[in-house]
Amino acid sequence: MRDSSPLPPRAAVLSRRAALGLAAAVPLAAASPAAAATPSATPSTARTAARTAARTATIGGDLLGLGGVQVRGASGLPKRLTARSWLVADHVSGEVLASYNAHRLLAPASTLKMLFADTVLKKFERTERHRVTDADLAGIPAGSSLVGVKPGITYTVEQLWLGVFLRSGNDAVHVLSHMNGGVATTVAQMQARADDLQALDTHVVSPDGFDHKGQVSSAYDLTLFARHGLADADFRAYCSTRTADFPAGGKKTFQIQNTDRLLTGAWGVPTYDGLIGVKNGYTSNAGNTFTGAATRGGRTLLVTVMHPKSGGSGVYEETAALLDWGFRQGANARPVGTLVAPLSEGGARATPAGKAPKAAAGAPARSETSGSSWGLVGGAGGAVALLAGGAVAWRRRRRVGAAGEAPASDQRASGLGGSDPGTSDPGTSDPGTSDTGTSDTGDSGARRRR
């Protein structure tokens, strides 16, 4: 399979918006959402100006703009996480309980389908029927994961969405996109939706998440997509479905299974008690990505894990470990940031706090934040030091194009042990945008098979 999307930036490199925002050093409680700052499929003068202003603030709070682990007031984080980026948040309050490189720009793979669903899901009734044509299936990238949509067969909208959520079918995505006015129209609408959600790290190139140059997102943005998607009953129902019957022509059907191993227990991964969903992804460039949500004791947590070292089931196991930590220690954790409100629901744009000063030092690759160090406001000296590292990365990124820089070795914790069952789910026709891997750390006793 081709590997055409941009390689992820160095672990210590922050997005330009996050790095420049550190100079303001405003209190977390005063941090407010900002306008989008990544390229749009259909840019406008107003949108470009809004993004320019947004570069002086870190969306969700200053601490989320720092490289490395951010956690306050709670201990016991899993020690063997290998992901390049991860985030734990409370679904209801939106509080970010802990994070690692929350705004790092990375290829999202099929987790971008959460934004696709959040954009298109309410456009059509579940019972609406559509007879698929050859044109509907034109332009699907070679190597895509497919659910098995065929021209000449009539599908309900509900069946197509099951193909998207369970099998990560790019064929189902393209059919729904054509029903929505075409791929280009859908991409533009997805970018507009990302802008409204204030998912400023996300640049949409395709509706299916397949590898394309410049298509990036972040753990923060993917968590935003999941949080707002789960507010919709249909989205929630689709992502929690384990199996479904899919049309094969005439009266024939075949069964499709969800590729989320924490939901189904496939490949020996224990099902996670209380898991809701949400979406996994894999491409040869992105590796494995996953955003999961689970409810225990009346509390719902969201976890996003991007690009762990281990293939196979590693991404699920690291997600489970972070969920375990959140349910055990989350009540003690003081928030290091927040998932901001959409502009359309009253979210406020960030007001630029002034021009960022120059500095000479780079950002540390890893830092563990406590209440006695950065706190809510953050250290002025540290902000100045971090600014230079972010500014260098920004200039370099401008030279090579959006997120097009080759990665250096990542500053991570030690790798996970155990065998690697592979990097793709054999249940799909191709691993192009299907689910795969993770490995687990933390208290395995907290996860129980259903």
- Cα 171 to Cα 147: distance, rounded to the nearest angstrom: 7
Distances 237 to 113, 157, 171, 243, 250 between C-alpha atoms, Å: 15, 14, 21, 12, 26
Q: What are phi and psi of 177, to 5 degrees?
A: -65, -40
Residue 141 tokens read as 């990238």
* Predicted confidence (pLDDT) at residue 438 exceeds the cutoff of 70: no
For residue 37, the Cα-to-chain-centroid distance in whole angstroms is 17
Q: In this predicted structure, which of 3-17, 167-181, 333-347 has the lowest mean pLDDT? A: 3-17
Return the percentage of the chain with pLDDT > 90, whole number.
62
- Clarify whether 358 is annotated catalytic: no
Q: Which tens digit of pLDDT belongs to each residue from 369-409? A: 333 222 222 333 333 233 333 333 333 333 333 333 333 33
Alpha helix stretches (DSSP H) within 240-377: 261-264, 314-329
The total of other beta-carbon atoms located within 10 Å of residue 446's CB is: 16
pLDDT of residue 349: 79
Overall average pLDDT of the 265-288 stretch? 94
Asked whether the beta carbons of 1 and 375 are under 8 A apart, the reply is: no
Rounded average pLDDT over 181-196: 98
Is 187 strand, coil or helix?
helix
Mean pLDDT (whole number) for 184-190: 98
pLDDT digits (tens, 9 = 90+) for 36-48: 333 333 444 455 4
Query: Is the confidence at residue 296, as pLDDT, over 70?
Result: yes
State yes or no: pLDDT of 173 exceeds 70: yes
- What pLDDT sits at residue 380? 32
Residues 6+ apart with CB under 8 A from 407: 7, 8, 9, 10
The three-state secondary structure class of 376 is coil
- What is the number of other CB atoms lying within 10 angstroms of the CB of residue 346? 8
In angstroms, the CA 113 to CA 111 distance is: 5
Q: Do residues 236 and 283 make contact, with C-beta atoms less than 8 angstroms apart? A: no
Residues 192-204: what's their mean pLDDT?
97
**Separation between Cα atoms, residue 175 and residue 190, nearest integer Å:** 16
Number of H helices, E strands in the chain: 11, 11
Active site residue 110: yes
What digits encode the pLDDT tens for the residues 329-372?
Answer: 989 999 999 999 999 999 877 554 433 333 222 222 333 333 32
pLDDT on residue 312: 82
- What is the pTM (predicted TM-score) of this model? 0.71
**Mean pLDDT of the chain, nearest integer:** 75
What's the rounded mean pLDDT across residues 403-428?
A: 32
Nearest to 288 by CA among 209, 180, 228, 353: 209
Q: What is the mean pLDDT of residues 219-223?
A: 98
Tell me: pLDDT of 450 over 70.
no
State how far the Cα of 79 lies from the Cα of 324, in Å rounded to an integer: 13
Alpha helix (H) ranges present in 107-201? 113-120, 157-167, 170-179, 183-197
Sign (positive or negative) of CA dihedral 218, 221, 226, 229: negative
Active site residue 40: no
Answer whether residue 301 shows pLDDT above 70: yes
* Closest to 417 measured CA to CA, from 436, 444, 447: 444
Whether residue 305 contacts residue 290, with contact meaning beta carbons closer than 8 Å, is answered with: yes
Dihedral pair phi/psi, residue 292, rounded to 5°: -125, 150
Q: What percent of the chain has pLDDT over 70?
A: 65
Q: How far apart are the first and last CA of the chain?
A: 36
pLDDT band at residue 215 under the 50/70/90 scheme: very high
Instruction: Match 């809701």 to its residue by tokens.
Output: 276
Q: Which of 32, 40, 110, 206 is catalytic?
A: 110
- Among residues 40, 85, 99, 113, which one is catalytic? 113
DSSP string, 76-103: ---S----SEEEEEETTT-EEEEEESTT
Q: Which of 168, 310, 424, 439 is catalytic?
A: 168
| Dihedral angle, C-alpha 366, 370, 373, 378, nearest 10 ° | 80
* pLDDT for res 311: 77
CB-based contacts of 412: which residues, under 8 Å, 6+ apart?
Answer: 11, 81, 82, 83, 84, 309
Phi first, then psi: what are they for 55, rounded to 5°? -65, -10
* Structure confidence at residue 310 (pLDDT): 79
Instruction: State the pLDDT at residue 284.
Output: 84
The DSSP secondary structure of 194-232, one letter per residue, reads: HHHHT-TT-B-S-TT----TT-BB-HHHHHHHHHHHTTS
Distance CA 447, CA 113 (A): 27
